[in-house]
Amino acid sequence: MAALTAACGGGSKPEEAKKQEAPADAKVAPVDDAVAKRRAEREAKEKAVKDAEAKKLQDIKDLAVLPEKLPKKLDKACDEVAAAQDAFMQKWFPDQATQWASGKGTQLGLTKKTCMLGSIEVAACQAKALTDAPEALRKEIPGLFSACIEKFGPKPAG
């Protein structure tokens, strides 16, 4: 019988196994805490990015308003958009003044041409949005233009 007890491992083995498992469980808890902490940090960063994007979009929408006085003719309104874009670029991109000066004739011509396909309201909104835009929106010219088009442009049928 003593030989069988010794061969089966006796009574002390399960206690040793429990002792060995306990440190392994203790190691798992800090790893789980670290994973949870990294997940929480990642989710917080993702939320901050989403919140910042939502705020930027709201700021753009808030700038899509008409000025107190609308121009009488579309070509005049489009000239104002081009002038506002030129002033915007000079104000918020002074470090790129040389590049802007060399390419602005083409860019402003394209702006005017595109503007002439729209309405006085859209053009007036775009000029005002560019004039009123803060530095935080300096890279959002397309968004500013689009917001005005969405708000004051022709509505699709249906």
- In tens digits, the chain (158 residues) has pLDDT values of 455 455 555 555 555 555 555 555 555 567 788 888 898 899 999 999 898 888 988 999 999 999 999 999 999 999 999 999 999 999 999 999 899 999 999 999 999 999 999 999 999 999 999 999 999 999 999 999 999 999 998 877 65
Give ∠ CA 121-124-129 in degrees, rounded to 5: 120
What sign results for the dihedral spanned by CA atoms 124, 125, 129, 130? negative
Model pTM score: 0.71
Q: In which residue are the tokens 């121009």 written?
A: 71
